[in-house]
């Protein structure tokens, strides 16, 4: 990592994203310090993935400011993408390419070439335990090894900030533990990690957490601070509380919408002639 700017790794001011008439993220204010493992949590539909995609320059914010690695996402998304790594919840490797070929491809995409790329990838494969599998096709790897390779592809260029969107979904517990040991090793080397997860044991491994609910930031702090804010005993209890709250709000909204559609206006004297007006 070079040209590391001062200040927080990620700074959000009034970040907002609207899709049609749906507000996915609303007025998000948040800072993530450099070199920290930071968890972004919340039920499905809370705005986590939308937020990460905006921070990666993959979605244009509707309003607000997002600074990542010292670069404004709204004005120079290409520069942001050169300074970050992104590992999504979707499988993004090329099955018909070997481990080494996948790593070389992604390293080149991120701007590494020639001797610098070769030297970096040799050390990188050794650090991740991938050197013995360099000639194996990615499609024949187990889930845990595919995950490790995907992480290697996302960090081949030594990004300043690494975004992980539910990276361990469907991976066995042993592989998840190894993955998190690698994550903390990257953080000790100076990489800032922002991760979303539905595994509460993983959330407890984060230094700080931010909870989203229906597009709003409703809690931030260390795991111990967040549980105190919500009056719960564990991060899992906080998550369940938010999920029930969001499901209740969604059910109420659906009922209200249905009621409006049925209400309508009556024609003539008999209520049996009422017609719905959407």
User: Is 88 inside a domain boundary?
Assistant: yes
pLDDT average, residue stretch 240-265: 64
| pLDDT band with cut points at 50, 70 and 90 for residue 3 | low
User: Is 212 inside a domain boundary?
Assistant: yes
User: Is 173 inside a domain boundary?
Assistant: yes
User: Is 255 inside a domain boundary?
Assistant: no
pLDDT average, residue stretch 261-267: 48
Q: What is the pTM of this model?
A: 0.84
User: Is 265 inside a domain boundary?
Assistant: no
Mean pLDDT for all residues in the chain: 87
- 265-266 and 216-221 strand pairing: unpaired
User: What CATH number is given to the structural domain containing 169?
Assistant: 3.40.50.300
User: Is 268 inside a domain boundary?
Assistant: no
User: Is 217 inside a domain boundary?
Assistant: yes
User: Is 276 inside a domain boundary?
Assistant: no
pLDDT of residue 225: 96
What is the percentage of the chain residues whose pLDDT exceeds 90?
73
User: How many domains would you assign to the chain?
Assistant: 1
User: 262 or 270, which is more confident?
Assistant: 262
Domain containing 14 equals 10-92+159-247
3-state secondary structure of 269: coil
**Residues with Cβ within 8 Å of residue 6, at least 6 apart in sequence:** 70
pLDDT of residue 22: 95
Nearest residue to 216 via CA among 249, 260, 173:
249
**pLDDT tens-digit series, residues 122-181:** 999 999 999 999 999 999 999 889 999 999 999 999 999 999 999 988 888 888 999 999
**pLDDT tens-digit series, residues 65-95:** 999 999 999 999 999 999 999 998 777 899 9
pLDDT of residue 275: 34
Reply yes or no on whether the pLDDT at 227 is more than 90.
yes
| pLDDT band with cut points at 50, 70 and 90 for residue 274 | very low
**pLDDT tens-digit series, residues 173-215:** 888 999 999 999 999 999 999 999 989 999 999 999 999 999 9
SS3 content of the chain, % helix, strand, coil (to 5): 45, 25, 35
CA distance linking residue 17 with residue 61, whole number of Å: 5
């Amino acid at each position: 990592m070079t040209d590391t700017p001062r200040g927080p790794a990620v700074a959000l001011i009034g970040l907002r994203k609207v899709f049609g008439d749906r507000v996915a993220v609303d007025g998000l204010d948040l800072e993530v310090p450099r070199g920290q493992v930071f968890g972004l949590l919340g039920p499905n539909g809370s705005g986590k993935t939308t937020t990460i995609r905006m921070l990666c320059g993959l979605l244009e914010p509707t309003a607000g400011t997002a600074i990542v690695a010292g670069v404004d996402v709204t004005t120079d998304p290409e520069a942001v993408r050169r300074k970050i790594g992104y590992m999504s919840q979707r499988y993004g490797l090329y099955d018909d390419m070997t481990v080494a070929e996948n790593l070389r491809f992604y390293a080149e995409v991120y701007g590494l070439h020639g001797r610098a790329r070769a030297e970096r990838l040799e050390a990188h494969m050794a650090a991740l335990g991938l050197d013995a599998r360099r000639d194996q096709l990615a499609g024949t790897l187990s889930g845990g090894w595919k995950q490790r390779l995907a992480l290697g592809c996302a960090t081949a260029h030594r990004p300043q900030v690494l975004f992980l969107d539910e990276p361990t979904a469907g991976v066995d517990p042993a592989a998840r533990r190894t993955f998190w040991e690698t994550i903390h090793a990257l953080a000790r080397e100076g990489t800032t990690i922002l991760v979303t997860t539905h595994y509460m044991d993983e959330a407890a491994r984060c230094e700080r957490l931010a909870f989203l609910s229906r597009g709003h930031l409703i809690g931030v702090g260390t795991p111990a601070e967040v549980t105190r804010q919500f009056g719960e005993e564990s991060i899992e209890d906080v998550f369940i509380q938010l999920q029930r709250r969001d499901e209740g709000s969604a059910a109420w909204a659906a009922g209200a919408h249905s009621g409006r559609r049925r209400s309508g206006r009556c024609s003539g004297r008999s209520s049996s002639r009422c017609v719905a007006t959407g």
